[in-house]
Amino acid sequence: MRINIADPVFQTVLFTIFFVLSVMATLKKDTKPYEMDHAHTDELKGVAILMVVFSHIGYFLFTDTRFLFPLSIAAGVGVNIFLFLSGFGLTSSELKTKKTWKEFYGKRLKTIFIPMWVALIVILALDYFLLGKTYDSLIIIKSFLGYFPVADIYTSINSALWYFTFILFYYLLFPIVFRRSQLLLCYYWDIW
């Protein structure tokens, strides 16, 4: 279901004015040192989330893609911000604590795979019981392994999970590339 809007350009101007005023009303002065800490990365994640949400609203929810343009074209930048912050967070964490590969992948299993499996079970159950929709067993197996090759909003189990495949690839590479003793592809800086 897509929403039709009478004057998308005017509505975008109104939305942008309201959004800018809301941001200005909630701004706080940064009193922390000029280092990238957890609070700063959370703020950047918020910006990235808004970029992706505006894009999805502009392109998938409304019939006229002029609504929220040019805000709706920033989704790719939002994804790039998330990838950067994921790499930054992993590197910061690994510089603070020494983990084996087994500990690294065990933590990812608990924090990423298990919640994804629960979400998939809920989605599959709801699709079956509420919509009568079923999926090929190979697609279900690939999904539980974290492989989402397409992001089709109408045919995928959950089209937003394409990002999971993307980030999983980087998680698989990280312990191989990151070396505390050998600066293979990382640069050491003092985070403490």
| Residue reference for tokens 């609070």 | 39
Q: Given a cut of 80, is residue 14 above it in pLDDT?
A: yes
**What is the C-alpha separation between 179 and 65, in angstroms, rounded?**
46
Q: End-to-end CA distance of the chain: give it in Å, rounded.
A: 51
For 145-188, what is each residue's pLDDT tens digit? 888 888 777 778 887 888 888 888 888 888 877 766 655 444 54
Q: Are residues 168 and 81 in the same domain?
A: no
What is the reported pLDDT for 179?
67
Where among 67, 97, 127 does a domain terminate? 97
Where among 73, 97, 121 does a domain terminate? 97
Q: Are residues 79 and 111 in the same domain?
A: no
Nearest to 37 by CA among 117, 98, 109, 92: 92
Q: Are residues 71 and 125 in the same domain?
A: no
Q: Report residue 122's pLDDT band, with 50, 70 and 90 as the boundaries.
A: very high
Q: Are residues 159 and 148 in the same domain?
A: yes
**What is the C-alpha separation between 62 and 9, in angstroms, rounded?**
12
Q: What is the mean pLDDT of the chain?
A: 84
Residue 169: both structure tokens together: 């690839």
Q: Are residues 92 and 1 in the same domain?
A: yes
Q: Are residues 81 and 111 in the same domain?
A: no
Q: Are residues 104 and 179 in the same domain?
A: yes
Residue range(s) defining the domain that contains residue 185: 98-192
What is the reported pLDDT for 18?
93
Where among 77, 97, 117 does a domain terminate? 97
Residues 6+ apart with CB under 8 A from 27: none
The Cα-based distances of 14 to 5, 17, 21 in angstroms read 13, 5, 11
Counting the structural domains of the chain, the total is: 2
What is the reported pLDDT for 190?
45
Q: Are residues 140 and 185 in the same domain?
A: yes
What is the reported pLDDT for 189?
47
**What is the C-alpha separation between 65 and 58, in angstroms, rounded?**
6
**What is the C-alpha separation between 26 and 46, in angstroms, rounded?**
13
Q: Given a cut of 50, is residue 35 above it in pLDDT?
A: yes
Which whole number is the average pLDDT over 118-142? 93
Q: Are residues 151 and 72 in the same domain?
A: no
- E-strand spans in the chain? none
- Distance, CA of 30 to chain centre: 25
Residue 49: both structure tokens together: 């989330």
Q: Are residues 1 and 88 in the same domain?
A: yes
Q: Are residues 134 and 172 in the same domain?
A: yes
Q: Report residue 191's pLDDT band, with 50, 70 and 90 as the boundaries.
A: very low
Q: Are residues 112 and 77 in the same domain?
A: no
